[in-house]
Amino acid sequence: MIKKCLLYSAMATMGIIMIAGCSSTDSSTGSYQSNKVYKQALYSEMAQNAMAYEGPARNPVIVIHGFLGARLQNVKTGENVWGDFRGIELLEGYSNKNLQEFSHPMGLNKPLKELKDNVTAVSLLSNFNVTIMGIKFNLDAYNKLIEILDNAGYVSESQPLPEGKNFYSQFTFYYDWRRDLSENSMRLHDFIQLRRTYLQGKYKKLYGIENYDVQFDIVSHSMGGLLSRYYMRYGDQDLPADGSLPKLNWSGSKYIDKLIVIATPNAGYLDTCLELVNGLKADPRMPVYPPAVIGTWPTYYQMLPLTSTRSVVYADDQNGKPVDVFDPQVWIDMNWGLADPKHDPTLKILLPNVKTAEERRKIALDHLTKCLKRAKQFTEAMREYGEPPDDVALVLFLGDAVETRRVAEVDRKTGKLTVTKFEAGDGKVLASSARMDEREGREWTPFVQSPIKWQAVIHLQDAHMGITESYSFSDNIAYYLTNFPTKKQEDRKEYLDYMAKNK
């Protein structure tokens, strides 16, 4: 009897194990206990309908790339300046001609906007082209972001119009990322007006709507977020020549419905200072661009960490006194970047018609001073507190899973920068900088304090460029673009419904 009981008990136990085993191999559909984690979303019928929709109720989208994100070309010669690389450059370094063309022009006592060359942006850097011994390699840049928007139903103007689609709805604003951001804001305004006119013509022809108030959703990555935020706040206003701030009139918001910002250094990032001092290595396989070359780019200074964040401090100060990185005298005292006399060999390449080291240094310091003054003016304009119109939505995607440079200490005697502290970010931009949380470097308080009124902030466990390649980003951005209405869209829904019924 005891043996039978043991047998039945064993069989019952085996039955439970078999049932449990079977359930673990089945689909988790309907299970309260399943703890599986999935890497990719399934889109519902409603979501698919939203992505397939073509019409004025859904805003067209404009993609704005970040730092280094557009191919540069000499329009006079047709030669590549940035974006296509040969094996000889990877092995032996850049030619003098390339360094000359890659730098921003310098000129004594001339405003930055008057310093022009033959180099311009010609396309989005969707991928790097590298040729070694005749073999071509492609390294991804913005390919994935464009693919995500394609999949969400946005038709790119860079491709033939697909069958069944009547107009383009995805536009890429590429710009010369070396040049001042307020200058590029004026170009963005012209770009928006041209695309607006194009779509108004299509809406009139297809839907009978005259002079439709076309609104755009902007998707901007990294430095592109600074450009688009400046445009939303100030439109096509230039930074005043007298050093004052432009009028905060939100004029760009007349054409922007949603502004989606990705991994943007809204409070700057420390690597700009480190790279301006030590040089830029854009990719581990590439040689370093010298400090005297990248130090000519006004935009680099416009991304310096704000002094209030205490990202750069004096090493011998117990209270961590912050260094004013916007003060030209600091750069001269520390022998940083363009102010370092040891970079004269590079300046000789950049300024071939200038005969003496003294003259070259005078031009370099003049350029440095103009860039720093302009950068300080720009960052102050971006920190102005003011309520944006209530019909504009600001959405932020940021990374918070990578140890990111937070503090560098400066040796007053040598000017050497040593990174001493890391915090959460995407490897380039701190999470606190992306949020523009002004508690950074100050006394802590419980809630975020920011001049930016975010409608949503999405934290992702991805690196700076990896954010645009993650499934979580793909799923969320598709929702915010196609299913998340702003006040403008709610207000005109009744009108569009009426027009659809009476077409």
To the nearest 5 percent, what fractions of the chain are helix, strand and coil?
Answer: 40, 20, 40
Contact status, residue 393 vs residue 316, Cβ threshold 8 Å: no
Looking at per-residue pLDDT, the higher value among 282 and 95 belongs to 95
Among 8-12, 253-257, 349-353, 413-417, whose mean pLDDT is lowest? 8-12
Say what the pLDDT of residue 464 is. 94
Residues 6+ apart with CB under 8 A from 220: 63, 64, 65, 66, 227, 228, 259, 260, 261, 262, 264
Taking CA atoms, 107 is separated from 117, 276, 345, 358, in Å, by: 12, 20, 18, 14
C-beta separation of 365 from 328 below 8 A: yes
- Poorest-pLDDT segment among 128-142, 169-183, 323-337, 434-448: 128-142
* pLDDT over 60 at 492, yes or no: yes
- What local confidence, expressed as pLDDT, does residue 499 receive? 59
Domains of the chain: 56-501 (3.40.50.1820)
Tally Cβ neighbours within 10 Å of residue 353: 5
Say if residue 496's pLDDT is above 60: yes
pTM of the shown model: 0.90
Q: 200's torsion region: left (phi>0), alpha (psi -120 to 50) or beta?
A: alpha
Position 191 pLDDT exceeds 60: yes
Residue 288 contacts residue 281 (beta carbons within 8 Å): yes
Look at residue 201 and tell me whether its pLDDT is greater than 70. Answer: yes
**Helix-helix angle 45-52:471-482, to 10 degrees:** 70
pLDDT confidence band for 15 (50 / 70 / 90)? very low
Query: What is the share, in percent, of the chain residues with pLDDT greater than 90?
Result: 70
Residue 37 — very low, low, confident or very high, per pLDDT cuts 50/70/90? confident
pLDDT, tens digit, for every residue of 287-346?
A: 889 999 999 999 999 999 999 999 999 999 877 789 999 999 999 999 999 999 999 999
